[in-house]
Structure 1
Amino acid sequence: MSTFASSDLDDLLERTRSFVRDVVLPIEDAAEGDVEAAGGDRLRVELQQEARARGLLSPHGPEDLGGLGLGMVDRVPVFEAAGWSLFGPMALNIAAPDEGNMHLLDRAATGAQREEFLRPLVGGQVRSAFAMTEPAPGAGSDPSALRTEARRVPGGWRISGRKIFITGADGAGFFIVMARTSGQPGDSSGATMFLTPADVDGIRIVRHVRTLDRSMLGGHCEVVLDDVFVPDDGVLGEVDQGFANAQVRLGPARMTHVMRWLGAALRGHDVALRYVTERQAFGGPLAESGLVHQLVADNEIDIAATRALLLDACRELDSGGRASASTSIAKTFGAEAIGRIVDRSVQMCGGLGVSEDLPLSRLSREVRPFRIYDGASEVHRWSIARRALRKVERG
């Protein structure tokens, strides 16, 4: 948990806002939110060097490895501020999947693994990827369908399988790979996490899967693992405990996704508020219209509700709880509310809202996949309902 005093957090927040709005946002606007067009990994290195110089890099990273050590609750305003620009999370080294991988490695890595993998990740020297999702009928919303196999060999393991939608894979320095070490697809146990450098024999990026979003560095890739050797010291956590270790990552990562995308939605809302205040129509500013009042009010309600659910889940995580229910609720509501906020903002701005003259069209493009990423809303609803029904069944 963060040891930041309130005044220190306020200072960090203000410096984050200034960096994102003055330095990062103009670059995003010039490239219309396309990170590869803006310079890709070269841009990341440049922005992270500036963030480091300003004392802003990896605010969530462990302090002993160069991060600022923010707890979950204290991350909320800082990550929101970074999310004001689509490139802000990348600039501060808090983008997915690296941010979630840092949290996982901080909890599960051995001392040697922390030095080899976590330290350079926190410092921005490398990027990473988390390889769990597979083409059908493999693991996706149902992780137990995992088909990638790891078999024991002298000195380690050999991993074979195919992964898809692996964010950041192109250019990653290392992978965290989920593979089955026992049981059969459909079993709720028997998975293990492995750490491997990306440049070992047998790892091959087949293609970039083109998606709506354009701001995620390294794309969403299909990756083949062909008899990849991982030594015994590359096991992350315990053998056959991969699904349990994944929960260490998933809850916090879902909440930081909400933080970042809420920042993007706040920007969209701000753009719309300024537009309706200045735009004259039907004898006065649009802001005097009752119909616009409803859109503005509904946005304010969704912002407040998302933040409240987010903070509730983050408090539970900071206290050491698993927060399975609260993070599912916050992720589901937040992903849908963020989409509504941006969509209403587009509507308030009319033709300009769907044009490239304003950032709203690209914000709409970027936030839509969040209802699928890190668990589709329907899967979370199933999980939320199942927990509620089990409470009744247990009396």
Structure 2
Amino acid sequence: MYESEKEYNVGYDRFKLKDNPFRPALPLSPEDIIWLGTDRLKTQIEKRIMLAMRTSSSRVILNWGDYGNGKTYTAAYYSRTRRLKELSDKLSVSPAKSIKVCLPRTSKNIVQAFWRALLGQIRFDDIISGFKQLKKIFKDDFDKIVAANSDDNLIGQLFITVANESESQKTDDIKNYFYSDKTETMLKQSDVPPGISDDEQVVNLISTIFNCLTYKKKIYSAILLWIDEFENIDTVRKSDADRFAAFLKQLTDKSPNNLNIFLNFTPKKFLALEDLSVYLGEALLNRAKLKIRFDAPSADEAADYLRALLNHPSYRTEEKPENKFCPFSEELVTYILQHIGRLSIRKINEVFSIILEMALIEETKEITIDFVETIKEEIISWED
């Protein structure tokens, strides 16, 4: 649990706010992460998520749209807040496990880097806890279930071992094996195979985890794997891009149930949506039958977003103003939105944050059109 920072921020109370709601980065506390997109987009995403919770087929979903319209934030929102728990309660199913990983583009070993980043998000102890829960549920059938859901006998045996309460030392050895924190000699002494040496082993390891922990939807109803900044696939060497695409295809082949991969993709000048087949291959791209478009908000949607954010309990003081855009007037909101060019959630946050902070710096009593005109040079995206 993180301690809220709201009580330490002073000055915003003059605007009937606890803090600046237009944050440039994600809050540290999960309690402070709130939905920052349109209701239309949220509905579309949650329909996909609830479909994953209710059904067993694995899917590749392509999230695409211009920079600044919430793809990264969406992945964080569904990975770090209680929203998935609320959705699973609504459907009376086990919760889904959501994991956000950025495309590794600077590593010399793109697959190993992805695995270590993934492991950092799942947490080894949660994996072990999940396998132990599975053993309690299925008891005598547990070994057969793990074997049937693993494409590698050694890896299957590792997970059977870690589910054994009496094997605490062996579990520590396997943890070191996962993280590659022991030498080959030490691993052999512990009767643990000498490291995850190739891409197929990584696939077998990840698919065993996903297949077993979603078996009969007992531990998790679905795995939601968000791969962020996927457009950077064009910045890695062609051999690495091909290798990663082959890895993802193998992962979907060996995890036929309950795995939902969300690829966050921002089109570039020289990389359009239709160009993805060059990097993913036709076989994998053909599996991306579901697409979610992160469109730029309309002026009305932007106004609705501002109204909701400014009045969220995390930011609005107990003194509720009649003006729902306070400390901005509705006229001022319209004026600002008309002068900042093509809208995006990120740009809206940046512009209104600057205006709010400049109002504090200048100690202005009221934020008006005249005041914004005096500071417009501070706003990079301002258009006269």
Larger of the two Rg values belongs to structure: 2
Instruction: Place the TM-score, normalised by the shorter chain, in its bin.
Output: under 0.3
* TM-score, normalised by the number of residues in structure 2: 0.28
Q: Hey, which of these two has a bigger chunk of strand by percent?
A: 1
* TM-score, normalised by the number of residues in structure 1: 0.27
Instruction: Considering Cα pairs closer than 8 Å and 6+ residues apart, tell me whether 1 or 2 has the greater RCO.
Output: 2
